[in-house]
Amino acid sequence: MLAIRTRRRKAVALAAAAVLAGLAAPSLTATPATATSATTTSTALTTTAADYDETYYKDAIGKTGDSLKSSLHTIISDQTKLSYSAVWDALKVTDQDPDNSGNVKLLYSGISRSKTLNGGNSGNWNREHVWAQSHGDFGTSAGPGTDLHHLRPEDVQVNSIRGNKDFDNGGSGFTNSGGSLTDSDSFEPRDAVKGDVARMILYMAVRYEGGDSWPDLEPNDAVTNGSVPLHGRLSVLKQWNDEDPPDAFEERRNQVIHDSYQHNRNPFVDHPEWVEAIW
């Protein structure tokens, strides 16, 4: 994380130098589309996790184990909930391809696809629940089924191939896999988003603890969880969190969700080390 923050400070310094030299510096903000129950704001990409430690995370700093998990649950449960229909427009902003503003970047396949191709047909992208809906049967009512911190755009066929499988290493490739693999009981995302997947699953386990009428979602070390509110494989998710730290895309996404939609954060994007501190 230190290296990422250092690069960001350098980027800001270079942008400032460009302005002083009379050059057009690239924009560091994104203006999200309007979403139901969400405020549209410009999101500065120069914000770092450290900026929130003395404010947003102040009640969690210095804690470990169940105490840390409990504090984070309280913090991130203060959120704005979106309708499932509002998720379409939100994903067009949170997952915008940084190299093509007219496209979204698909999670597992890595494909850049037009924002207008959302839907349920072949060649479309749809709303992938990284924590599979059937693992707790929470549906798409406002709550875990519409939480942007684990909803991502994905190719319709790829989404279907992933289905409700737990995450683990191993398997074979498939059409439009982008390097992702699957077998009979698990799914392995491409290397570039393995950490993203881990942090999304573990966010859900902290955010949804059995209160406010939703199931208590928890990670475990199995890959045969079916319809129970469990998701695996925890040991592999922890490995992925270590091997694939948050990148600029994931950090920007966290910031946009916080500033413009749900007004809560994924603490494991800001502090990946908290995964080990809790589990």
Q: How many structural domains comprise the chain?
A: 1
* pLDDT, tens digit (0-9, with 9 covering 90-100), for 9-38: 333 333 333 333 333 333 333 334 443 333
Q: Domain range holding 55? A: 2-278
* pLDDT, tens digit (0-9, with 9 covering 90-100), for 205-263: 999 999 889 999 999 999 999 999 999 999 999 999 999 999 999 999 999 999 999 99
* pLDDT, tens digit (0-9, with 9 covering 90-100), for 146-197: 999 999 999 999 999 999 999 999 999 999 999 999 999 999 999 999 999 9
Cβ of 184: how many Cβ atoms within 10 Å? 7
User: Quick one: pLDDT at residue 206?
Assistant: 98
148-179: burial string, b at 16+ Cβ within 10 Å, e else = bbbbbbbbbebbebbeebbbbeebeeeebbbe
Judge whether residue 117 has pLDDT over 60. Answer: yes
Helix axes 194-207, 248-256, angle to 10 degrees: 30
Judge whether residue 5 has pLDDT over 80. Answer: no
The arithmetic mean of pLDDT across residues 25-53, rounded, is 51
* pLDDT, tens digit (0-9, with 9 covering 90-100), for 75-99: 999 999 999 999 999 999 999 999 9
- Prediction pTM value: 0.85
User: Quick one: pLDDT at residue 28?
Assistant: 30
